[in-house]
Amino acid sequence: MIDERERDLALGLRQGKTDAWRTFHDAYAERVWWSVARVLGPGSPDVADVVQGTFMAAAQSVRTFNPRRGTLWFWLWGIARRYVALHLRKQKRQDQLMQAAQWLAAGNGQALRCLEGREAAPPELTEAAELATLIRATLVELPPDYAMLLTARYLEGKSEQQLAAQEESTVPAIRSKLARARRAFRRVFGKYATLVADESGKRKT
């Protein structure tokens, strides 16, 4: 349960009163900051983004606050925890991508040569988790139609004839679009080979 002061503050927040939001921010900003910093680390440059995201989400969802379920702090920290979890998942993905980029750089371009058909791919390459990580990351960056076409052709094994029927197009048109999609894929995939060097350069500066 919350006291009368918090109840009045919550009412002011729901009514969109500027003074209420200023009081709310002043009362909880530092507490949210240090609570987030304890999870992410006090030196993390992402603490400010998580705190800012927390208060923006609170402003957008203030009508969901129910004083019968707990205090304003309990509600606000619940929002902050969700943002922390999202950040940690994002950081994990970034770490996995960096590890995969390091693996790619160590291979001296073998993965790209194999993907382009210029070299036979050994089983240890095609089964590598790092390669799967890079392929997924590349497909996400491509235009949706390119990503869907490449996935259907090379991961699902659909023929050009099947794709033409599916897209209500012609085989030559599908073949041409596949060629453009492969070029786009190579450009995006190739940038991961330089990711490690770029990150190393940033740390030195």
Q: How far apart are CA 44 and CA 38, in angstroms?
A: 10
Q: CB neighbours of 190 closer than 8 A, spacing ≥ 6?
A: 112
Looking at the structure, do residues 186 and 113 belong to the same domain, yes or no? yes
Which candidate, 177, 179, 174, places its Cα nearest to that of 159? 174
Asked whether residue 52 falls in the same domain as residue 135, the answer is no
Amino acid at 83: Y
* Same-domain check for residues 51 and 21: yes
Same domain, 119 and 81: no
| Amino acid 160: pLDDT | 93
Q: Which CATH number do you get for residue 16?
A: 1.10.1740.10
Residue 2, pLDDT score: 56
Q: Are residues 120 and 71 in the same domain?
A: no
Q: Which domain holds residue 142?
A: 107-204
Look at residues 94, 120, 143 and tell me which one is the last residue of a structural domain: 94
pTM recorded for the entire structure? 0.54
User: What pLDDT shows up at residue 180?
Assistant: 94
Q: For residue 180, tell me if it sits in a domain.
A: yes
pLDDT, mean of each 10-residue run, the chain (205 residues): 75 88 91 88 85 92 82 88 86 80 78 75 80 83 87 86 90 94 88 63 47
Tally the domains of the chain.
2
Do 89 and 58 share a domain, yes or no?
yes
Report CA 111 to chain centroid distance, whole Å.
Answer: 24
Residue finishing a domain among 59, 94, 129 = 94
Q: Answer with the one of 44, 60, 94 that is the final residue of a domain.
A: 94
